[in-house]
Amino acid sequence: MESFLTWLQHSLGKGPGDTAQSWSEALLESLNLWELLEGSHLLGLILFVGTILVVDLRLLGLIFRRTRVSVISDTILPLTVFGFAFVVITGAALVFAKPLLYYHSIWFRLKMILLTLAMLNILVFHSRIQKSQGGWDAESVPPSKVRAAAAISLVGWLSVIICGRFIAYDWFECGKPQSALINTVEACKTSERGAYTLEGKRL
């Protein structure tokens, strides 16, 4: 993985000559494109999580109690899916600009795990819980298993956002003196910056 990401960051699309840039480097150093991608990622997130929030609050029985769940979800979920696609595309482009930094970031790794869990929760909801929707579709407060899925969804997506924002901070960046646990979780030994113990000794 490390060598693939190194190739992605430093070699892919690189022309001849010492000053030539790879596509990844060109994207990162572009005048406006990287900034536009980052801004778009945030705006896509507002659409994506903002609409999920409304659906989850309905599933929790906190808003739109007189409206069928199917009316809310059928109308709002296309917007959510669009927002998600937007976030994934812009997010992938942002990772492409700094693949090695993201790969060795504890927050990015945690974000990917939480993202997978949140997606699994959606899968479980659609494949199991939603099958019985006819029975609780019109209920002002849906059954506990539905509310549990909605609560997990909310906590999951909020955690994804928190981890995503923390990626920007270098608290645990490889190359800094830090605990063995962090060095292991981030696979710092194989990173360009290396792994350092709390005493400052390179591993």
Q: Which of 189, 38, 201 is nearest to 104 (CA)?
A: 189
Binding mask 123-162 for another protein (x = CB under 8 A): -----------------------------------x--xx
Beta carbon nearer to another protein, 87 or 100: 87
Q: Which of 70, 62, 52 is nearest to 158 (CA)?
A: 52
By CB under 8 A, residue 187 contacts another protein = no
Applying CB under 8 A, the span of 14-22, 57-65, 91-99, 185-193 interacting with another protein comes to: 57-65
Contact pick of 2, 11, 29, 71 for another protein (by CB under 8 A): 71
By CB under 8 A, residue 20 contacts another protein = no
Q: How far is the CB of 189 from another protein (least distance, A)?
A: 27
Three-state secondary structure call for residue 202: strand
Structure tokens at 10: 């430093």
| Residue pair 43/53 in contact by the 8 Å Cβ criterion | no
Q: Which of 29, 27, 24, 30 is nearest to 10 (CA)?
A: 24
Cα-based torsion angle of the residue sequence 84, 89, 91, 97 in order, rounded to the nearest 10 degrees: 180
Strand partners, 17: none
Contact pick of 72, 97, 101, 160 for another protein (by CB under 8 A): 72
By CB under 8 A, residue 39 contacts another protein = yes
Contact residues toward another protein (CB under 8 A) are 31-32, 35-36, 38-40, 42-43, 45-47, 49-54, 57, 63-64, 66-67, 71-72, 75-76, 79, 158, 161-162, 165-166, 169
